Amino acid sequence: MQLSEQELVRREKLAKLRDLGINPYPADLYPVAQTSKDIKHNFEEGKTVVIAGRLMSRRIQGSASFAELQDSEGRIQVYFNRDEICTGADKSKYNEVYKKLLDIGDFIGIEGELFKTKVGEKTVMVKDFTLLSKALKPLPQPRVDAEGKVHDAFTDPEQRYRQRYADLVVNPHVKDVFVKRTKLFNAMRQFFNDAGYFEVETPVLQPIAGGAAARPFITHHNSLDIPLYMRIANELYLKRLIVGGFDGVYEFSKNFRNEGMDRTHNPEFTAMEIYVAYKDYNWMMDFCEQLLEHCAIAVNGTTKATFGKHEIDFKAPYPRVTMADSIKHFTGFDITGKTEAEIRQAAKDLGIEVDDTMGKGKLIDEIFGEKCEGNYIQPTFITDYPKEMSPLCKEHRENPELTERFELMVCGKEIANAYSELNDPIDQRERFEHQLELAKKGDDEATATIDYDFLRALEYGMPPTSGMGIGMDRLIMFLTNNQSIQEVLFFPQMKPEKKPLAISDDAKAILEILNKAEKLELAALKSQSGLSNKKWDKSIKELTKNSLAKVEKTNDGLFVEKI
């Protein structure tokens, strides 16, 4: 492992602390009694406090020093005075330990008294301090110059997602997003519990990937010697519980889809699904808009949220537009009563890419997605989807070509999907078989297997039921004004981190020279390196082989350039 100069210095300090008999990683409980927020909200001059956190900044002025301590609630100013900490003749705790052996990022515990500075800053006068954890790597801390400009800000998304632990420390606003995420889950859970519905858990490893159209992750169960699938949805298990006699069940589930990644999709994501007996999709629309109004207020204190250039208002009620009316409005084409061939031709005429694997439902979905979806900024229910698009949904009571389904659109994206659930086992079997035919034609989003156990459950009888799924990650994006799903996941999926190349010390020395010059005449570079012919040849080959430098022949001679 190649250590930086700062990391080496910190390890030297670690050794010195141990030599002084100070354990840099003590196991003892530290009796924290207050947080920075408690101190600021309930400030009393002269009050004794015990706090702990990271040392984030300090200004040492001889025998005194102002510093900042950061805990889970924010930052508080602390004042170190040598004679307050070291009341006897031995001043080493301040002079040696505090001034020389502590670093920014170290966790310390502080016992002290509260006072206000001349400018009114609430501050802790340190009476004693304890090192709780020595940080061996310096934090990627931004610095502000005299003109107020920020330098070295930790803003690179890839670094931030890989090192979320550092991101949370140095970018406090990031923590606020995750606090709001938890508020959202709590608010939704409270809303369901108050309505009398029951939170449950269903399997993550499933023998059949069902309940949605998606490509699954596959694993193997050694004891049973069978393949299993990471769940793509929990729908079919929750419906089994309705068959079993529960009137309302819900689950916050981790789902896994082995598909593409972009700003609104992650292979592992969190969905909420709820199923309520004796209800239909009209009731669920009312329930959904009341739920989201409640959640928006719980998270932000208002029904309104900013997302990019848009202000969204989650206050109920929301407009309701049928899919046919939406497509007709934005394209002029009426899908009602049209054949698959007519819809295919219309899609082509609209400039939409189609292929022979697409059935009627997929074609309609493509038209809606390309021409309509992006126009819905404020929360809007799109209702009454064609039957081909909804294999688990009940046939519309007034039009057998449609289903009783809605999706909730916000800022051109779907955040909720709901049905009057199909509970006719014969119809359900036929829908599954139709999906199989589509899969054979090459539709990779069609369900390629039939869940016969689920059909058996339906044959025992399932009451009229309405179900809804909400993408929790996407919803919190809208409520916190984040354009990327990676911003609302603590640890999003990433490509493997590239390991730094291990090169020889001689090659590093050449690279250091090139870092300053970018490009040098080969003879001059060789001379500056001070290497023997043998070492030079070996090192320059090492650099060119690892694509760290290249040798170019020009009219002026041979030059070495850093890549």
**Domain spanning 174-318+420-434+455-487 has what CATH number?**
3.30.930.10
Q: Which amino acid is at 244?
A: G
Say which CATH architecture domain 5-139 belongs to: Beta Barrel (2.40)
As given in the structure block, the two tokens for residue 469 are 């799924």
The band of 449, judged by pLDDT with boundaries at 50, 70 and 90, is: confident
Residue spans in the chain of domains classed CATH 3.30.930.10: 174-318+420-434+455-487
Among residues 361, 354, 356, the alpha carbon closest in space to that of 446 is found at: 361
pLDDT at 445: 66
Question: Do residues 340 and 363 lie in contact, with contact meaning Cβ atoms separated by under 8 Å?
Answer: yes
What's the full length of the chain, in residues?
Answer: 563
Residue ranges of the alpha helices (H) in 141-280?
157-162, 164-170, 172-194, 235-243
Min mean pLDDT across 3-7, 323-327, 516-520 is at: 516-520
The band of 157, judged by pLDDT with boundaries at 50, 70 and 90, is: very high
pLDDT at 149: 79
pTM of the full structure: 0.85
- Per-residue model confidence as pLDDT tens digits over 374-399: 999 999 999 999 888 888 899 999 99
Higher pLDDT among residues 441 and 201, named by residue: 201
The band of 143, judged by pLDDT with boundaries at 50, 70 and 90, is: confident
pLDDT at 326: 98
184 pLDDT more than 70: yes
* Mean pLDDT, range 209-215, rounded to an integer: 87
* Mean pLDDT, range 416-420, rounded to an integer: 97
pLDDT at 153: 85
Question: Do residues 36 and 51 lie in contact, with contact meaning Cβ atoms separated by under 8 Å?
Answer: yes
1 pLDDT more than 70: no
Long-range interactions of 60-66: CB distance < 8 A, separation 24+: 60/99, 63/94, 65/98, 65/99, 66/123
The reply to whether 414 sits in an annotated binding site is yes
- Per-residue model confidence as pLDDT tens digits over 455-498: 999 999 999 999 999 999 999 999 999 999 999 999 999 988 87
As given in the structure block, the two tokens for residue 464 are 């009229």
Average pLDDT, the chain: 93
The band of 516, judged by pLDDT with boundaries at 50, 70 and 90, is: confident
The reply to whether 235 sits in an annotated binding site is no
356 pLDDT more than 90: no
Question: Do residues 504 and 536 lie in contact, with contact meaning Cβ atoms separated by under 8 Å?
Answer: no
- CA 39/CA 32 separation, integer angstroms: 12
Among residues 194, 248, 285, 282, the alpha carbon closest in space to that of 463 is found at: 248
pLDDT at 417: 97
pLDDT at 461: 98
- CA 169/CA 148 separation, integer angstroms: 21
Among residues 524, 92, 488, 443, the alpha carbon closest in space to that of 307 is found at: 488
Report the percentage of the chain scoring pLDDT > 90: 75
Say which CATH architecture domain 505-562 belongs to: Orthogonal Bundle (1.10)
pLDDT at 500: 66
- Per-residue model confidence as pLDDT tens digits over 490-499: 999 998 887 7
pLDDT at 376: 98
pLDDT at 28: 94
pLDDT at 525: 87
- Per-residue model confidence as pLDDT tens digits over 76-118: 999 999 999 999 999 999 999 999 999 999 999 999 999 999 9
Higher pLDDT among residues 115 and 263, named by residue: 115
Among residues 448, 375, 365, the alpha carbon closest in space to that of 412 is found at: 375
Among residues 449, 394, 467, 456, the alpha carbon closest in space to that of 244 is found at: 456
Q: Which residues contact 515 (CB under 8 A, 6 or more apart)?
A: 562
Residue spans in the chain of domains classed CATH 1.10.10.10: 505-562
Residue spans in the chain of domains classed CATH 2.40.50.140: 5-139
155 pLDDT more than 80: yes
52-56, 258-262, 501-505, 538-542: range with highest mean pLDDT: 52-56
